[in-house]
Chains A and B, each alone.
Chain A
Amino acid sequence: MTLLEVNHLNVFHGDLQAIFGLAFSVAEREAVALVGANGAGKTTFLRALVGLIDSKQGRVRFDGSDIQDTPAEHIARLGLGMVPEGRMLFDTLTVEENLLMGQVSRRSGAWTLRRVFDLFPALEERRNHLPRQLSGGQQQMVAIGRALMCNPRLLLCDEISLGLAPVMVEQIYGAFEDIRKEGTALVLVEQDVKRAASASDRIYCLLKGRVSLTANAGDVSVTELTQAYFGM
């Protein structure tokens, strides 16, 4: 069954159009990779989906309801979660308080503070630390854990491996297996195409605000993908 369905989506930054007539879908329990060069519109697309960008046209259906005009704070309660680019943690809140902010949306489900600490044991030891006292990878764990605490049905992850040590990326991608076991669907925005493809069922490539390729993650060839990625 389709969980998220996007049709003819246009998104604007003031007078500039960033996304052109985009079609996109995610099925329940599916993991979808969204790749593309810098400036292709990946982050803009995600921010528009969760309602952080208002100037958009088109149709966005999530879990049976139209959400293209729904404000972000209501979308969160419907079960569409996001790990924003750059982590965007609450700097003056401790690790534990950051995680508890996820509970404010009052969605119940498998993810509790206990489960998040089991998934990322490093966070439990540092529960009373401030985000700036953590490594980049641990900060990313807080951002993911905070989003999980909302018990989302679909989790959008924006550039979660950016600037992290390879061993940390390994650890975080390992966690996605546990997250998928709970039935959570994923959208992984990545610049590292191989990494994204190996963790996903399907792949979308974005080029200058348009979908340049969509394929099953297993079928896609490197030449095809390179062409779609760079537009050459």
Chain B
Amino acid sequence: MAWIETLVNGALLGGLYGLLGIGLALVFGVMRLVNIAHGEFMVLAAYLAVILVGLFPQVHPLFVLIPVVIAAFAVGYLYQALIMNRVARAPDPLAPLLLTFGVSIVLRNLMVEVFGADVRGLQLGELSRASIKLFGLSIGVMPLLTLIAAVLLFLLLQWAVKRTVFGRIVRATADRRDIVRLFGVKPDLVYNYVMGLSLALGAIGGVLLAVRSSFTPFSGVERLLIAFEVVVLGGIGSFWGALLGGIVLGMAQLAGLKWDANAGLLYAHLLFFVVLLIRPAGLVASRA
């Protein structure tokens, strides 16, 4: 029974991990760009949440998600418009990658300068500790809410990409960034919106992860690693694969911790390594 509880809790954690990965997957799918700074932007969102909670103690901490997500969208839009679009057309694909790497270093050090290197966390009070009994299992309310939110966001994103005009334009731009211009679409503008959306999704993941575990300005690397593993595990370019990848990773982490309390993320990384050996294309093989 205890093992089942562990796996269920791992799956709940996986919803959160899926959220960390989905923004990265979106940007990679549309612009073939690996945004190395994704982790730092997530940590930045968590800092913003901590500040807002401090400024408005009477508001429930979960409500700060709204301004944080809006701010993250704006930051993503400007990050793409002012910095990344300058190299988006570079003939060398290494240039954009290196630029995101540089941005991640700058952000990390700026956060040390502004916020200090202290360990921070986001307290939700009773909600953090609340749990319910389900089929004889003790399940945390917050992880359950997180998974539900993740699934809803995945559904919403799926709908937006498949069914809306914006989604159609995004997919067309991903297919042929030159040809969409013949129909009045400015690819750079599409990229701005997609990066905004990516960082908004990352911010939700970043804030919810800050509720679960503490962070410092240097936590971006860990978060990026999880996001990266989630995306590759699920199959690059597959949204639902990212959620599945997150769930598998979350289960592996908690099962590993139960077995060996000092393991940390070791078993999650090991599982990632093994899956990569057996199925290099990911669990959900993406379309050709």
Contacts and interface: CB of A to CB of B under 8 A. Distances in A.
Given A73-B185, A82-B182, A146-B183, 11 more contacts: A76-B182, A84-B179, A92-B287, A93-B175, A97-B172, A100-B165, A101-B172, A101-B183, A104-B165, A104-B180, A147-B182
B168 interface: yes
Given A97-B168, A100-B168, A73 B181 contact: yes
A76 B182 CA distance: 5
A105 B179 contact: no
8 contacts: A51-B181, A72-B182, A100-B168, A101-B180, A102-B183, A104-B165, A104-B180, A104-B184
Interface string A82-97: 1010001011110001
Interface in B181-196: 181-186
B185 A90 contact: no
B50 interface: no
A218 interface: no
A127 interface: no
Contact of A84 (B165, B182, B287): B182
Interface of chain B, main secondary structure: helix
Contact of A88 (B165, B176, B185, B287): B176
Contacts of B171: 90, 92-93, 97
A90 B182 contact: no
B179 A90 contact: yes
B221 interface: no
A88 B176 CA distance: 8
Nearest to A107: B184
Contact of A76 (B169, B172, B181): B181
B175 A90 contact: yes
Nearest to A47: B178
Interface of B: 165, 168-169, 171-172, 174-176, 178-186, 287
A97 B169 CA distance: 10
A176 to B, nearest CB: 19
A210 interface: no
Nearest to B179: A88
A90 B187 CA distance: 14
A121 interface: no
Interface string A39-60: 0000000000011100000000
Nearest to A88: B179
Interface string A59-78: 00000000000011110110
B176 A81 contact: no
A77 B185 CA distance: 10
A104 B184 CA distance: 7
Nearest to A80: B182
Interface in A121-176: 146-147, 150
Contacts of B186: 71, 73
A76, A106, A146 interface centre (most CB from chain B within 10 Å): A76
Contact of B175 (A71, A76, A92, A104): A92
A92 B176 CA distance: 10
A99 B273 CA distance: 43
A106 B165 CA distance: 12
Contacts of B175: 90-93
Contact of B184 (A84, A88, A100, A105): A105
Contacts of A77: 184
A190 to B, nearest CB: 20
A91 B175 CA distance: 6
Contacts of B168: 93, 97, 100-101
A135 to B, nearest CB: 20
Contacts of A81: 182
B193 to A, nearest CB: 14
Pick the most buried of A74, A82, A97, A106: most chain B CB atoms within 10 A of its CB: A97
A50 B171 CA distance: 22
Closest 5 CB pairs of A and B: A105-B184, A72-B181, A90-B175, A76-B184, A90-B172
